Amino acid sequence: MIGFAGVTKRYAGGPGQPPSIAVDELTLDCPAGRITVLVGPSGCGKTTTLRMVNRMIEPTSGTITLDGRDTATLDPAQLRRGIGYVIQHAGLFPHRTVLDNVATVPRLLGWDRRRARARAAELLDLVGLDPTLATRYPAQLSGGQQQRVGVARALAADPPVMLMDEPFSAVDPIVREQLQDEFLRLQRELGKTILFVTHDIDEAITLGDQVAVLRVGGRLAQVDTPARLLADPVDDFVADFVGRDRGYRALGFRAAPDLPIQPEPTVPLGATAAEARAATTDRWLLVVDEAGAPVGWVEPDRLHAPIAATDLHRGGTVARLRGSLRAVLDAALSAPSGRGVLAHPDGRLAGTIHAEQVLAALRTDRSGPS
């Protein structure tokens, strides 16, 4: 566990200026094996708080502990080698290959070259990188690939604690979502104690087991589970920071009840225009792949050749059966047909549902049995 007890960081002011406070009397526990996310506006002390854990910044007062040990009593170099650290843009060594970047900390800990490289190769696979990238240099990788290497390097010596400072903020939204999913998968497998900094409340809610909202000046405003934070902000500052659509986002933490799912006519990719028109009288028709997974919608009356990937309308999202209410409602609202697509865990189509039916189920779920 990472513990903060009355931690303050104060910087001396310039000539004639008063001192400035970056972090003010922070008391916070980050549970072992869980992700604690620090979030807040610019100037709230998120990164300062993170960097005080590995003593890259020394606190002015207060105590920071790792599993009950006061970090002020530990050798800074040894402390840092036992903590994984991931930053924006990955912070990779440009003159070292991917494999040697990941092997950096094990080598510093005295591992021989063969063992360190073997561990690095394992981790590249663990974070979903092609082994052929091992001999490349950081400049030859995409932003998302570089961030995966950064995560692998932080995991190389199997540290119990990881510090992550906006690690996914420098990539585009699609890659960012993929990295978040991969990160959560890794955490389910590894169970690290993670302190994660972000300025994005959606990312905080997606990733955090608990979310700590900081005010400008480094004061803790609220620490809670994501669901509790959305449902019950402690004051106007937290409510405004979390956002006005928090009621909708809170549906992401509520499992969908039994829903009146309807069967949906489908045709396979490659079906002829005549087959598509024969399958439905509706304006929109759902297309599935050879495994029965939905891939998009088409308008049969506009087809003049067998259905190709370029004919697909991919705007609608797909929700998992028994997934969250938010995902199901979003699927219904985003579908061009007005029918939300639901899939089994293996990806096969389960059926469709209208937004009105999702809202009716939500009303019933809230009111309880009559």
In order along its 370 residues, the chain shows pLDDT tens digits of 999 999 999 998 777 788 889 999 999 999 999 999 999 998 899 999 999 999 999 999 999 999 999 999 999 988 998 899 988 776 888 899 999 999 988 888 888 989 999 999 988 988 888 889 999 999 998 888 888 898 888 888 888 999 999 888 877 777 788 888 888 888 998 999 999 999 888 889 889 999 999 999 899 999 999 989 988 899 999 988 888 777 777 877 777 778 889 999 999 999 999 999 999 999 999 999 999 999 999 999 999 999 999 999 988 888 888 788 888 899 999 999 999 999 988 889 999 999 898 888 877 766 554 3
Helix or strand holding residue 294 (H, E): strand 294-298
Q: For the sheet with 69-70, list strands across it.
A: 20-30, 2-11, 61-66, 69-70
For every residue of 156-200, DSSP letters joined together read TT--SEEEEESTTTTS-HHHHHHHHHHHHHHHHHH--EEEEEES-
Give me the pLDDT at residue 366, please: 61
Taking a C-beta distance cutoff of 8 angstroms, is the pair 80, 54 a contact?
yes
Q: Quick one: tokens of 77?
A: 């170099």
Burial 211-249 (b: 16+ CB within 10 A, else e): bbbbbeebebbbbbebebbbeebeeebbbebbeeebeeb
Q: Do 352 and 341 form a contact (C-beta atoms < 8 A)?
A: yes
Token representation of residue 117: 């490289």
What domains can you pick out in the chain, each with its CATH number? 2-253 (3.40.50.300), 266-367 (3.10.580.10)
DSSP 39-76: E-STTSSHHHHHHHHTTSS--SEEEEEETTEEGGGS-H
d(CA 220, CA 101): 36
pLDDT at 370: 38
Say if CB 60 and CB 9 are below 8 A apart: yes
For residues 88 and 169, give the distance between their C-alpha atoms in angstroms, rounded to a whole number: 7
pTM value is 0.76
pLDDT digits (tens, 9 = 90+) for 321-343: 878 888 889 999 999 999 999 99
The span from the CA of 132 to the CA of 236, in Å, is 51
Q: Are 168 and 179 in contact (CB under 8 A)?
A: yes
For 151-170, the pLDDT digits (tens) are: 888 888 888 999 999 888 87
